């Protein structure tokens, strides 16, 4: 029960920190960092027992469910479900934060410290595999190189799905925990670094003059 109380406290405090921090950091990153700090590898305040693990799995399921809702928003119009708003509130307010905190508590931070090269390789691969193709594919739709670079960096940013997929892969035995830790660490680093670079590139985007704007 004490572990669950710590988890609930972290999930309640993180949105306040995000709102008060001048440098915007993704809430997901802070949830995972909170799990790492208070997890068994550091302070040991959170022990991943069966009830907490069950709640985390429910959060994972709701995460995929909400991904389907987001996809549906961009699909042809259909009648909105009345369950959408309450389920979204329960998921983002309780279950999904628990999932990310437990993921942080389970993260093998020692492996990341001992093998930082794995994290760096995955970090570079996120940019090369996810971001770089977008930079060339959209060269006609986004002619400005700086704007296209911002777009590519934001596309390369990823963490929630990485956490979800690596969790499933480790549980099934298809991925080593140290590789999963490196991949999640790379995802967290991408969420921190890529948006900062994208914002810096935004200052270099050339705004069209009034006579250049097509009415």
**Whether residue 121 has pLDDT greater than 90:** yes
Task: Kindly tell me the sign of the dihedral angle through the C-alpha atoms of 37, 40, 46, 49.
Answer: positive
Please measure the distance between the N-terminal and C-terminal CA atoms of the chain and give it in whole angstroms.
62
Q: What is the pTM of this model?
A: 0.61
Tell me the C-alpha distance between 170 and 164, whole Å: 10
- Residue 120 pLDDT: 93
- Residue 53 pLDDT: 63
Tell me the C-alpha distance between 131 and 102, whole Å: 29
pLDDT in tens, 31-87: 777 776 667 655 666 666 666 666 666 666 666 666 666 656 665 555 555 656 666
């Amino acid at each position: 029960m004490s572990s669950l109380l710590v988890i609930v406290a972290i999930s309640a405090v993180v949105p306040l920190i995000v709102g008060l921090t001048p440098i915007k950091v993704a809430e997901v990153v802070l949830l995972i960092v909170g799990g790492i700090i208070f997890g068994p590898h550091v302070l040991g305040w959170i022990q991943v027992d069966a009830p907490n693990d069950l709640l985390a799995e429910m959060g994972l399921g709701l995460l995929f469910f909400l991904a389907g809702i987001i996809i549906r928003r961009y699909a042809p119009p259909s009648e909105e479900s009345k369950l959408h708003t309450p389920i979204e509130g329960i998921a983002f307010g309780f279950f999904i934060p628990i999932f990310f905190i437990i993921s942080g508590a389970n993260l093998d931070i020692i492996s990341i410290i001992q093998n930082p090269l794995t994290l760096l390789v995955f970090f570079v691969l996120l940019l090369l595999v996810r971001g770089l193709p977008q930079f060339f594919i959209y060269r006609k739709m986004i002619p400005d190189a700086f704007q296209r670079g911002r777009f590519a960096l934001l596309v390369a940013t990823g963490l929630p799905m990485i956490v979800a997929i690596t969790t499933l892969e480790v549980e099934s035995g298809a991925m080593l925990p140290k590789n999963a830790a490196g991949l999640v660490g790379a995802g967290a680093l991408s969420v921190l670094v890529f948006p900062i670079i994208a914002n810096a590139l935004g200052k270099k985007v050339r705004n069209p003059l009034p006579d250049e704007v097509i009415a």
